[in-house]
Structure 1
Amino acid sequence: MHPISPETAPDLDLRHHGDAEVRGLGAQLTDLAVNVRAGTPPQWLRERIADSLGTLAAYPDGRAARRAVAVRHGLPEERVLLTAGAAEAFVLLARALRVRRAVVVHPQFTEPESALRDAGHAVERVVLDAAGGFRLDPRAVPADADLVVVGNPTNPTSVLHPARDLARLARPGRTLVVDEAFMDAVPGERESLACRTDLPGLVVLRSLTKTWGLAGLRIGYVLAAPDTVAALERAQPLWPVSTPALAAAEACSTALAVAEAERAAQETAADRTHLLARLAEFAEVAAVGPAAAPFVLIRLPNAAAVRLRLRALGFAVRRGDTFPGLGPEYVRLAVRDRETTDRFIEALKQALS
């Protein structure tokens, strides 16, 4: 686990994402590259979104959705900011905050670093070691960093860092950004900091994209101190979140929706256990674990060639070499149902032989 300065950080395609693996070929490939839950959005959510279309002549009014998100997390409304996906939140943070020393903990989702660099900030990387299971040691983060970004559970490693370790990173004068885009896919949302109001500088980001299948709608939110929320809101354009996206945010924050997400998380955990058990049949495949998210990171020889063979066999998987801290031997797999996993395992046997 070691810091890398902006001058020595290797150049990577930080804007490569899983959708590039299936773009234009979605119908021909079984998608294990994108981490959106299969079979979503559910019918009831489609209907709620469709019902909102009759009000499109009016400008969006986010008050009800903001209130619903606040209630869902037991927070006052002034601690909630709705955004056009969690990705917008990274851009707002990069533009609105005065940052002297920004540190991004890798491997993780690459948009935070991209947004910071686009806004003119130098970014240092703290790269977690594979030998340590990509686990965070808070002592590795420079003490004088005034912006720290970390994912939990982390994309692409599927590592769930203990909340106590993340809390140790919070301190006066520092903004601690915890990307919890996949936290609602963790049973019980254990290790979440979303409801914490006692940690100075804490900013928690959430997305409704993954569990509810709303990547095309763009809806997420920020949970932070009121002054931080106000600063980010000033950096937003007018009416940044559409009426259908607001309807989705309100609908997905109800007690019934949260309960449905919990059931989905439990099912995903069982499906992930099955995937890991099948992967263990291959001596040459090593899975990063324990995995906690709806995806698994694996290491295997000749991964780039295997990925292309899998594609020819009808399966899209996510390359790992565009994530800082990983290399060409890594591949990320979305967790799917057992039947899909079993078909994938048969394809993997062919790709490895």
Structure 2
Amino acid sequence: MNVRRLIPAAAIAGSVTLGMVALSACSSSSATGKDSGKLDVVASFYPMQFLAEEIGGDHVAVSTLTKPGVEPHDLEITPQQTAEVGEADMVLYLKSLQPAVDKTVEQAGVKHTVDAATLTELEAHGAGDAEEEHAGDEHAGEEHSHDEAGADPHVWLDPAKYAEVAAGVGKAMEKADPDHAADYKKNTDALVGKLTALDTEFKDGLKNTTRKTFITTHSAFGHLAERYGLDQEGISGLDPESEPSPARMKELQKVAEQEKVTTVFFETLASDKTAKTLAADTGLKTDVLDPLEGITDKSQGDDYFGVMRANLANLQKALGAK
């Protein structure tokens, strides 16, 4: 004899409601963007996210593939993120910085895909000219090859180049969402104006310095150094996690002495071990020079402009700005 349990209708309704809530919670941010009628933009990491939010304003729903505190170079894409990219209205990334992102974007085939690397000129910058002297060392040779394999992607650290990228992103948004083109243009012009003013701050702030050479763990500041007449000496190459050779560390000790370097810079998202080792060996101070690949509670500013101005202040102090 089968006994059938009668489940109250209210309980069934409650279960359905809870299921719908759970399903909603698992939905990607791209669905949120589409449901709200906004342009759904997926950005690869913080500098691209910042552009999308500043230019898009209230007309866009922006999500980022690189969460705060994650080192962008090492990012691995999850299946959920792959789906998110495929459903986006626009994808904004910087080719060659994050291989996993490059592959995902290529496979997604989103109509409005913007590669920031095509919007300005990328140049080759390595760990420093001194590194070439040690190309015979096996590890140093590997680093040199890595740096020369492609141009330096860290263009956002040069406000002038970042402004060029911003202008290109603005035009792409106008094309993707013509109904709000006027607002995108207005926001783009405002952002470019702020970046131009920041460029002037750097030019004026670094025009008269006692020293021109700075040492940093991550060779991310080549574009910035070239723009403002400085010399970057990187402990590592373009990959912040690569280990420097003993020959490179010895060479940097000589550079520090010859150029009267006072400070070894490290960053917030990567290990500061090599910077502190070099500083201890040479009797130098350490300070932060943030490559702005992500904003965390350890960042010396709440957004791009705040961190860049902190970078300027730290460079002025280290270089003896007058």
* TM-score normalized with structure 2 length: 0.30
Structure exhibiting the larger radius of gyration computed from Cα positions = 2
Higher helix content, 1 or 2:
2
Higher RCO (CA-CA < 8 Å; seq separation 6+): 1
